[in-house]
Chains A and B, each alone.
Chain A
Amino acid sequence: MRTRLRQIANTLFTLAALASVVLVVAALVGILLPMIWRGSGAVAFQGTVEFRRMQIEQLGRGDRKALQEEMEQANRLRDQAWGMLDRFAAAMDPSDLVTRVRQLHREFSTQIDNRDLRRDQTTQLKSLSRSLRDKLLAAMDTQDTSAATANLDEVLSHAEDGPLRGTVAAGYFDAARHYRDAISGVDLARRDQYVEPYRQVRSAVEALLGPRPGKPLPALVMQRYGATRWDQAREHLANVLWAREWVADGPGRPLRQVAVPREQQFAGTELAGLFPLMRDNAAGMLLPRWTFYWQYFIDDSLSGHYFGGVGPEVIGTLLITVLAILFAMPIGVITAGYLIECAGDGPLTRLLRMCINTLAGVPSIVFGLFGLAFFVIYLLPKLGAPQGSSIVSGAMTLALLVLPVVIRASEEAIRSVPSSYREASLALGASRLHCFVTVTLPAAMPGILTGLILSMSRAAGETAPILFTAAVAMGPVPSSLLEPTRTLSYSSYDMAVGDRMAAMAPHNQYGMVMTLVGIVLLLNIVAIVLRGRMARKLRGQ
Chain B
Amino acid sequence: MMLRPNYDCRKPDMLTMEDQPSQRDQAPIPPSAQRKPINLRRSSVARPEVRAQGFSLYYGAKAGVQDITMDITARCVTAIIGPSGCGKSTFLRSINRMNDLIPDTRAEGLLAVDGVDIYDRRANLVNLRQQVGMVFQRPNPFPKSIYDNVAYGPRLQGVRGQRLDELVEKCLRDAALWDEVNDNLGKSALALSGGQQQRLCIARALATGPQVLLMDEPCSALDPIATARIEELIIGLKHQYTIVIVTHNMQQAARVSDRTAFFCLGKLIEYDDTKTIFTKPACKQTEDYVTGRFG
* A in complex with B: yes
CB-CB nearest in chain B for A431: B126
Query: Contact residue range for chain B?
Result: 20 to 34
A window 195-239: CB within 8 A of B: none
B window 97-111: CB within 8 A of A: 98, 101, 103
Residues of B within 8 A of A58 (CB): none
CB distance from B192 to the nearest CB of A (A): 8
Query: Binary interface profile of A, 390-422, with partner B (CB < 8 Å = 1, else 0)?
Result: 000000000000000000000000000011111
The answer, yes or no, to whether B94 is at the interface (CB within 8 Å) is: no
A-B contact list, 7 entries, CB within 8 Å: A420-B136, A424-B201, A427-B134, A428-B130, A429-B128, A442-B143, A540-B188
The answer, yes or no, to whether A537 is at the interface (CB within 8 Å) is: yes
Whether the Cβ atoms of B191 and A541 lie closer than 8 Å is yes
B: residues with CB less than 8 A from A are 96, 98, 101, 103, 125-130, 133-134, 136, 138, 140-144, 152-153, 156-157, 187-192, 201, 204-205, 208
Q: Dominant SS at the A interface?
A: helix
Whether the Cβ atoms of B98 and A430 lie closer than 8 Å is no
Whether the Cβ atoms of A540 and B136 lie closer than 8 Å is no
Given A419-B101, A442-B143, 16 additional A-B pairs, CB 8 A: A422-B101, A424-B136, A424-B201, A427-B96, A427-B133, A427-B134, A427-B205, A429-B125, A429-B126, A429-B153, A430-B126, A434-B156, A443-B142, A538-B188, A540-B191, A541-B188
Residues of A within 8 A of B205 (CB): 427-428
Whether the Cβ atoms of A443 and B143 lie closer than 8 Å is yes
CB-CB nearest in chain B for A534: B143
Query: Binary interface profile of A, 82-104, with partner B (CB < 8 Å = 1, else 0)?
Result: 00000000000000000000000
Whether the Cβ atoms of A428 and B136 lie closer than 8 Å is no
**Among B98, B141, B190, contact of A539 (Cβ-Cβ < 8 Å):** B190
Whether the Cβ atoms of A428 and B143 lie closer than 8 Å is no
**Among B138, B140, B208, contact of A429 (Cβ-Cβ < 8 Å):** B208
Whether the Cβ atoms of B140 and A424 lie closer than 8 Å is yes
Whether the Cβ atoms of B156 and A344 lie closer than 8 Å is no
Residues of A within 8 A of B138 (CB): 420
Whether the Cβ atoms of B101 and A423 lie closer than 8 Å is yes
CB-CB nearest in chain A for B130: A429
Residues of B within 8 A of A419 (CB): 101
The answer, yes or no, to whether A379 is at the interface (CB within 8 Å) is: no
Residues of B within 8 A of A541 (CB): 188, 191
CB-CB nearest in chain B for A535: B143
Residues of B within 8 A of A434 (CB): 156
> 8 tightest CB-CB pairs across the interface, nearest first?
A540-B188, A540-B190, A420-B140, A540-B191, A429-B130, A538-B143, A429-B129, A428-B153
Whether the Cβ atoms of A430 and B134 lie closer than 8 Å is no
Complex Cα–Cα for A540 and B194 (A): 13
Whether the Cβ atoms of A439 and B189 lie closer than 8 Å is no
Residues of A within 8 A of B101 (CB): 419, 422-423, 426
Complex Cα–Cα for A425 and B149 (A): 10
Whether the Cβ atoms of A418 and B140 lie closer than 8 Å is yes
Whether the Cβ atoms of A429 and B127 lie closer than 8 Å is yes
Whether the Cβ atoms of B98 and A423 lie closer than 8 Å is yes
Residues of B within 8 A of A184 (CB): none
CB distance from B246 to the nearest CB of A (A): 14
- Say yes or no: A344-B103 contact (C-beta < 8 A), given A428-B153, A429-B153: yes
The answer, yes or no, to whether A438 is at the interface (CB within 8 Å) is: yes
Residues of A within 8 A of B201 (CB): 424
Whether the Cβ atoms of A425 and B143 lie closer than 8 Å is no
CB-CB nearest in chain B for A417: B143
**Among B189, B190, B208, contact of A428 (Cβ-Cβ < 8 Å):** B208
Whether the Cβ atoms of B143 and A426 lie closer than 8 Å is no
CB-CB nearest in chain A for B146: A540
Whether the Cβ atoms of B134 and A537 lie closer than 8 Å is no
CB distance from B214 to the nearest CB of A (A): 8
Residues of A within 8 A of B191 (CB): 540-541
CB-CB nearest in chain A for B135: A427
Complex Cα–Cα for A426 and B93 (A): 12
CB-CB nearest in chain A for B152: A428
CB-CB nearest in chain B for A443: B143
Residues of B within 8 A of A537 (CB): 143, 188
Of residues A423, A427, A438, which shows the largest number of chain B Cβ atoms within 10 Å of its Cβ?
Answer: A427
Residues of B within 8 A of A442 (CB): 143-144
Whether the Cβ atoms of A429 and B136 lie closer than 8 Å is no
Whether the Cβ atoms of A424 and B142 lie closer than 8 Å is yes
CB distance from B189 to the nearest CB of A (A): 7
Complex Cα–Cα for A430 and B151 (A): 12
Of residues A421, A428, A539, which shows the largest number of chain B Cβ atoms within 10 Å of its Cβ?
Answer: A428
CB distance from A294 to the nearest CB of B (A): 41
CB distance from A343 to the nearest CB of B (A): 12
Complex Cα–Cα for A425 and B138 (A): 14
Residues of B within 8 A of A429 (CB): 125-130, 153, 156-157, 208
Residues of B within 8 A of A425 (CB): 142, 152
Complex Cα–Cα for A418 and B140 (A): 9
CB distance from A432 to the nearest CB of B (A): 10
CB distance from B241 to the nearest CB of A (A): 15
Whether the Cβ atoms of A439 and B98 lie closer than 8 Å is no
- Say yes or no: A540-B143 contact (C-beta < 8 A), given A344-B103, A424-B201, A426-B101: yes
Whether the Cβ atoms of A540 and B103 lie closer than 8 Å is no
Of residues A424, A426, A429, A430, which shows the largest number of chain B Cβ atoms within 10 Å of its Cβ?
Answer: A429
Whether the Cβ atoms of A427 and B98 lie closer than 8 Å is yes
CB-CB nearest in chain B for A541: B191
Whether the Cβ atoms of B142 and A439 lie closer than 8 Å is yes
CB distance from A521 to the nearest CB of B (A): 30
CB-CB nearest in chain A for B100: A426
Whether the Cβ atoms of A423 and B130 lie closer than 8 Å is no
Residues of B within 8 A of A422 (CB): 101
Complex Cα–Cα for A418 and B98 (A): 16
CB distance from B141 to the nearest CB of A (A): 8
Residues of B within 8 A of A427 (CB): 96, 98, 129, 133-134, 136, 205
Residues of B within 8 A of A421 (CB): 140, 142-143
- Say yes or no: A539-B143 contact (C-beta < 8 A), given A428-B129, A429-B129: yes
CB distance from A466 to the nearest CB of B (A): 39
CB-CB nearest in chain A for B103: A344
CB distance from B263 to the nearest CB of A (A): 21
